[in-house]
Structure formats: C-alpha cells, structure tokens
Amino acid sequence: MEQSRKRAKRGRNTGSAGRTSRPRQAEVAQLAGVSQATVSLVLSARTDGKAATISKETRQRVLDAARSLGYAHDPAARRLAAVRNNLLGVFSFTATFPTDVQHSYYPFLVGVEQEAAARGFDLVLFTGSSSGGAGAAGPDALSRVRLADGCLFLGRHVPRAELKRLVADGFPVVHLGRRDELEGLAWVGADYLSASRAVVAHLAALGHRRIVLVREDDDAPASADRERGFLEGLEETGAETGPAAVLRCADPVHEVTAERVRALVADGVTAFVAEETDTGAAWRALDAAVREAGLDCPGDVSLALLGSPPPDLAGGLVPTGFDVPRHQLGAAAVRLLAALVAGEQVHEPLVACEFRTGATAGPPGRRP
C-alpha cells in the first residue's frame, strides 16, 4: 500500500506535462497498484455486481492515480456499455462557428436544435477548429467530440483521416452534406443534381444555348454535384457542352473580371450560373463583374445561382436558382444521428431543393 502511495505521489509530481498521448487505463492500474479490470470498474462509475466489492480505499487510489495522470474516461467506451448522456455534438469545419444568424450554416443549426430538443437531446457545440483553441489541429483534432453520444459535422473540407478513425471506432457520426467518398460515413444531403438540372432547363426554355457555370476549384462533393447536374442539364436540353461550359476558379474575385465576362458575352455566352458555397465567392465575383462591365441583368445577360445568395447580398435582385432546405436537412441529420446512437440502421433520403424563379433570368438579350 505504501508503495502504491509513493507511485501515486510520483505521478502527481510529474503530472501529464510533456505527454504526447492520452493516458491509458493500464497506466492508471500500474500507478494505483491494481488490475486493469479494477480500474475499469471504478472509472465506469458502476456500483452493482463486482464493482460493489471494491473497497473505498482501493477506489480512491484509482481515482487519485487517474487524476494525477490526467486520465479522461473515453465516452465511446461508456456508450458501448449502454451508458449514454443524451448529448449530441455539432462540429463545424468553418472559419468561424456558424452562430451568427447571417452565416449560411446558421439555418442548419436551427433545424438541428429544434429536432434535438424534440427528441430529448442536448447539444454540445465544438468550436475549437474555428477559434484556434486547444485541439484545433493535429491527429487528435476530433477526439473531444467523444464527450457526446454522437456528433454532426458541417463544412466543405474535412480531415478525412480523423473522420475515418471515428467511423472505424464505431462512434456515431453524421456529416451534413454528401461525403460518400468516406466509406461507412453516414450523411444527409440536398438533391443538388435535380435542382441544378432544373435551373438549366429553365434557362434553356427561355432560349439560352451558351451557358457558363462559375465555380470554385475544389473537390467538395456539393460542388461536384452541382457541376454534374449543370452538365446533365445542358445535355438534356441540347445546349452547348464542352470544357468551356465550366469556369473553375482558384480565386474567383481575381479571375472573374469585368473584362472576362464582357469577352465571354461578346463570344456568344448569354447566361452565367454560379454555385453557392459558404463563402459565396463565385456569386460575389460574378455579380460584381457583370455590374462593373456595365451589363444589364437580365436585359444583356442572365444570371442564376445554384443555391441562395450570401445574406449581405440578399438586398438586390432575387437570383433565379433554388433554395437549399437547410432547416429540413438539420432535422434529418439529427434523426439519422439519433438512430445511429440507438444502434439502428436507417437511411435518410436526399432532401429536394425548391426552385426559385427569381428576377435575374430572361430571354437572351442583345450583345454589347
């Protein structure tokens, strides 16, 4: 017993400073001078069966050893033992956590909150990735989400290796937005394919045959779905296709200029379509370039947006396009996550987007 106290004292003196990995139960057991099974029983907070036979002194030694090592019990292990805390996490891979009502992701959170409350769950918002707080980067960036019974993730660009590890560990994870490139990751998403085809069909019905899509140059599934729907729409309507139909921009602000737009219109392009992203970069650049070029919309050129405009640009003409059902997607994500936490296998279908006629598209106009 005295040796165990000395070991515990040494652990308290050294603490967890300088550690590069999380302490394990085996280390707690060694420090406390007990078996790992005893440590597991004590830290699981069980009071029935074998746990009831552990003396108060032994229990305290284990707790002291765990505290001195900085050990934190893994909530995923508790969940496997059917011990849940009715907490759902929300983790956003964005520059700022979307708590501002002007943020494009905010409506998702409204749907998440309402559905979670209806199902008796509380929410934990993990903001470290956006604020630069502890654990914002590195191989264990997502480890803290295990404090919840499961976690929702939002954002176009995610750390695939970390998400894959959570899925492999059996931790309930749902991504809000298509991520089928990660095998086993559950997700809910909007039907961008059908919605994008519908926008092209609307433009084609107005008489447009030369239509260009402006999008950011990345591999986000939402962008890929919009582009695919756009191209399918061109083929279905008999509009002109080919590489020139898509303008991929690493930096839309500097690449989509008034001069470039004016040149494309002079070459026969009568309509431009932009994708919606969390930054709104493609639409911002296109809208600014058209105005700077002195082109009337929709008199000289028609515009359409595959999604909704950034809130700070919502005061202008309502763009032709579609609305993403953010509230419904947030609620669907919670339903799916709650099912995974309960051990159920369910599938949430794609949520349909609503076509928006808007005021930025008309018949092909005159060429400047």
Q: What is the pLDDT of residues 110-163, one digit of tens each?
A: 999 999 999 999 999 887 555 444 344 444 567 788 889 999 998 777 777 888
Helix (H, G, I), strand (E, B) or coil at 108: helix
CATH code reported for the domain at 2-73: 1.10.260
> What is d(CA 150, CA 88) in angstroms, rounded to the nearest whole number?
5
Ordered by start, the domain boundaries in the chain are: 2-73, 87-190+328-341, 192-323
2-73 and 87-190+328-341 have identical folds: no
**Under a CB-based contact definition with an 8 Å cutoff, are residues 306 and 321 in contact?**
yes
Mean pLDDT of 57-80: 73
**Under a CB-based contact definition with an 8 Å cutoff, are residues 214 and 285 in contact?**
yes
Q: Kindly tell me if the per-residue pLDDT of 359 is higher than 90.
A: yes
- Residue 106: predicted pLDDT: 83
87-190+328-341 falls under which CATH superfamily? Response regulator (3.40.50.2300)
Categorize the per-residue pLDDT at 81 as very low, low, confident or very high, splitting at 50, 70 and 90: very low
Measured in whole angstroms, how far is the alpha carbon of residue 341 from the centre of its chain? Answer: 19
**Who has greater pLDDT, 104 or 114?**
114
- Residue 100: predicted pLDDT: 67
**Under a CB-based contact definition with an 8 Å cutoff, are residues 136 and 128 in contact?**
yes
Q: Kindly tell me if the per-residue pLDDT of 19 is higher than 50.
A: no
- Residue 93: predicted pLDDT: 78
- Residue 280: predicted pLDDT: 87
pTM: 0.70
**Under a CB-based contact definition with an 8 Å cutoff, are residues 215 and 249 in contact?**
yes
Q: Please report the DSSP string for 194-239 in residue order.
A: HHHHHHHHHHHHTT---EEEEEESS--HHHHHHHHHHHHHHHHHT-
β-strands 302-306, 320-323 pairing: parallel
Mean pLDDT of 312-330: 89
Q: What is the pLDDT of residues 224-276, one digit of tens each?
A: 999 999 999 999 999 999 999 999 999 999 999 999 999 999 999 999 999 99
pLDDT averaged over every residue in the chain: 83
- The lowest-confidence range among 52-66, 118-132, 330-344 is 118-132
Q: What is the pLDDT of residues 190-230, one digit of tens each?
A: 999 999 999 999 999 999 999 999 999 988 888 999 999 99
Encoded amino acid at 48, one letter: D
CATH code reported for the domain at 192-323: 3.40.50.2300
φ/ψ of 172, rounded to 5, equals -65, 120
Q: Kindly tell me if the per-residue pLDDT of 13 is higher than 50.
A: no
Q: Kindly tell me if the per-residue pLDDT of 22 is higher than 70.
A: no
Categorize the per-residue pLDDT at 181 as very low, low, confident or very high, splitting at 50, 70 and 90: confident
**Who has greater pLDDT, 26 or 52?**
26
**Under a CB-based contact definition with an 8 Å cutoff, are residues 170 and 80 in contact?**
yes
